[in-house]
Structure 1
């Protein structure tokens, strides 16, 4: 990357929430940001914006074509777009699993397939995949979300190893609950769990802007796993340092699901 030229950044799911906050944070640092979203409503004030369905390979090809034609390449790809999900093992439908994996994993994979040749040719680039604390810590009632976010963590680590020889870096972002509108897209059969999740999101101490700033600081440090908030760091530390204590906490939380 040329330090004297503005960074060229694509942020998916940038119409609202963390995606919008990440786009704002990079723009504040002087970057050129192409903000994409399936819903164009939140993109109207962006200098560079495009509608984008991350599950559509043709849309990814079009976004890549625009970036290469207008900017000559890309420095940072932020795979942020995604949906919430979860549900107890005997309540969530199998179709819910397919839905969340199609968007949260295969949408990301499709983007990486499209942009990896660009990064290889440049011999530079930064991939940032937004996962969740659920990719590292696995509470009961959240099997589909835990599984897909753990897959994102694994995908990102693999990409970092595979592309290091081409000068390309990869980082995964694993926040705990923070205030955002993500729950607007929650769907599924386990309505009781959904209400619990909505309460955790609405009552979270941090908002999307604070998480976005922590993400950029992590990228600047060169972190490969960015855990941007204290609650997430505490949970990971407990699992790493006191597995019996961690299991006890998780099982107490699981017992509460019987009340739903």
Structure 2
């Protein structure tokens, strides 16, 4: 039987690529998004790629929308096998330049959107005693560059929540993956909120310089679900950076990060000199 997969933010960027990757495997693909015109267009692409498509208008800040999506899939498909909490937005700015409203906005979408998705679909997967949840975080959830405090915090929280979820669902035969890609070319900059023009330029520059495509990240996610892999690091360089953080002494790691980020990220400063 082919997979039944539900993807938030599925009408563009990484969500679209995940949808098309599963479509090529013959899956039934439900994409949820706020952008109806884009969603309809991607649904057509899913059909052309070999999948069966369903588009739902869905706002991840509204629990009712996600619960309605879960019930729709029970009625139309008899359930769902894979849930991808992908919808997300971006922010930038140093701590004194980010208004609290910007923090509340990103946490409501990037973190609580994931939580709402899991609350809507985890009971269904538990009842089936099978399935897989994929939460899209970011390398910024593991390694935290300056000038991106609220974004880093939102993605770090997704990593922590995903580990909790993995442990809670393991005995129900429900897998969990958390995906931590670095910057890659996508439309994330469309959602970027910042009061700092330099921060916006820095983020857009990093997105353009990304050395892996959204399609490549989608391939990594597809493989991770098949192998029930928890932590997914699609970029080879990021795997090295994560190991560096795990094994270097904290002081050494922070000094190295100061050196590496001082040109690329807003708010970075040179490492202080030893006394």
Deviation, structure 1 residue 136 = 0.6
Deviation, structure 1 residue 259 = 8.5
Deviation, structure 1 residue 192 = 1.2
Give the TM-score normalised by structure 1.
Answer: 0.94
CA distance in 1, matches of 2:226, 2:241: 24
1:33 corresponds to: 29
CA distance in 2, matches of 1:119, 1:232: 31
Secondary structure of the 1:48 match is strand
1:6 corresponds, among 2, 6, 13, to 2
2:220 corresponds to: 214
Secondary structure of the 2:56 match is strand
1:133 corresponds to: 139
Matched, 1:150 2:156: yes
Larger displacement relative to structure 2 (9-18 or 33-42): 33-42
Secondary structure of the 2:177 match is strand
Give the TM-score normalised by structure 2.
Answer: 0.89
Matched, 1:86 2:82: no
CA distance in 1, matches of 2:149, 2:247: 23
2:50 corresponds to: none
1:246 corresponds, among 240, 253, 259, to 253
1:173 corresponds to: 179
CA distance in 1, matches of 2:37, 2:231: 31
Matched, 1:204 2:210: yes
CA distance in 1, matches of 2:60, 2:222: 23
2:20 corresponds to: 24
Report if aligned partners of 1:84, 1:145 keep a CA contact under 8 Å in 2.
Answer: yes
| Deviation per residue, 1:89-131 (Å, 9 max, x gap) | 1111111100000000111111111111111111111000000
- Structure 2 residues without counterparts, runs of 5 or longer: 44-52, 270-275
Deviation, structure 1 residue 229 = 1.2
Secondary structure of the 1:74 match is coil
2:46 corresponds to: none
CA distance in 1, matches of 2:141, 2:35: 26
Report if aligned partners of 1:129, 1:171 keep a CA contact under 8 Å in 2.
Answer: yes
Report if aligned partners of 1:176, 1:231 keep a CA contact under 8 Å in 2.
Answer: no
Report if aligned partners of 2:146, 2:267 keep a CA contact under 8 Å in 1.
Answer: no
- Structure 1 residues without counterparts, runs of 5 or longer: none
Deviation, structure 1 residue 234 = 2.2
| Deviation per residue, 1:62-109 (Å, 9 max, x gap) | 111110000111110000000011210111111110000000011111
1:110 corresponds to: 116
CA distance in 1, matches of 2:8, 2:218: 14
2:107 corresponds, among 89, 94, 101, to 101
CA distance in 1, matches of 2:36, 2:240: 37
| Deviation per residue, 1:133-162 (Å, 9 max, x gap) | 011111111111111111000111111100
The alignment yields a C-alpha RMSD, in angstroms, of 1.6
Deviation, structure 1 residue 212 = 0.6
